[in-house]
Amino acid sequence: MSNASSAYTYLNNLGYDALGEIEKPASYIYNSINIIHGHGMAGAVRCELTNGAYTWLYSYPRSVLASQDASFGNYNSTSLSRSKLLLYIACESAVSLNGYSMASAGYAKGAKCSIGFNNSVVGGDDWMRLFFQGISQNKTIQQSRDYADAMYKQDYPIYDESESPAGHSLKWGNANVRLRV
């Protein structure tokens, strides 16, 4: 079982519908826990669809090139208000371009808490699995970040620190809440 699948198993056990939703376009992020897993760069994340195509999600206002692409700049300030957690497992998802990073833009559009990374991320699936392991132990979002960082450093000391997700996640919003367990 992949680490992403393990994370989805934790979410399913918590009572969330966590099928991965990889066939959904970038414009489909209105659930209470949203994981955006893809290839990131400052200001954008590219998510691959099951048919081999991909869709882009941008942090800043821009015209979208394809019907399945999306830009937070085109969302209203409450578009993500049902989202308790918006988690980006993507490189540079906390790095700004044109004034917003992916994580800060998600928070600005209503997500209660948004987490991204300020570096290139190797092993994001492993970190995500550990994060949701913490959530399943009734830890707060912040405690789960700390737990994932500590366990990741212990379990994967071989990764170059500059590419490790541990210690490089940044958050916007309230991380002192527990998600439903």
Mean pLDDT of 28-34: 62
Using DSSP's 3-state secondary structure scheme, residue 172 falls into strand
Taking alpha carbons only, the member of 48, 47, 49, 50 closest to residue 58 is: 47
Predicted confidence (pLDDT) at residue 181 exceeds the cutoff of 50? yes
Q: What is the pTM of this model?
A: 0.81
Q: What is the percent of the chain where pLDDT is above 70?
A: 78
Give the per-residue pLDDT at 27: 43
Mean pLDDT of 90-119: 92
Strands laid side by side in the 113-117 sheet: 33-37, 85-89, 113-117, 169-173
What is the residue whose two structure tokens read 């090139």? 65
